[in-house]
Structure 1
């Protein structure tokens, strides 16, 4: 990992199956933005066979405890 990856809060990577209120989200990894903002380094703990990958920003500290 680069130095900024250790200090920067990672985005969460999910595999999402289904649509709307019936969608099932499973967290499968993390993503760190490149310093130039033009890409990501992604680390996955598993590879999905179905669904779609979604990368979400880290939650604010107040939201993370909920």
Structure 2
């Protein structure tokens, strides 16, 4: 992770409605660890009224895959 930008989030927040393969995932924000290591700063672009919020570890896609190549 040392090669990535310091602004890269540690987690991505999603609003999830439904279960299993029928679940609908919508990206709603991100989270960064605090400097003291005792919590996170969370930035939400939306706050869902229904469904649940899931916080998943951020893992960047390979550049070729992100650009649509092989």
**Could you state the TM-score of these two structures normalised by the residue count of structure 1?**
0.74
Aligned to 1:23: 23
Q: Return closer, same or farther for 1:26/1:35 CA change in 2, 3 Å cut-off.
A: same
Name the count of aligned residue pairs.
61
- Structure with more of its chain in helix, by fraction: 1
Query: Equivalences for 1:1-66 in 2 at 5 Å?
Result: 7-10=6-9, 11-62=11-62, 65=66
Aligned CA RMSD, in angstroms, stands at 2.2
Deviation digits for residues 8-58 of structure 1, max 9, x if unmatched?
421211010000100000001111022344321101011100011111111
Q: Which runs of 5+ in 2 are unaligned?
A: none
> Where in structure 1 do 4 or more consecutive aligned residues deviate above 4 Å?
none
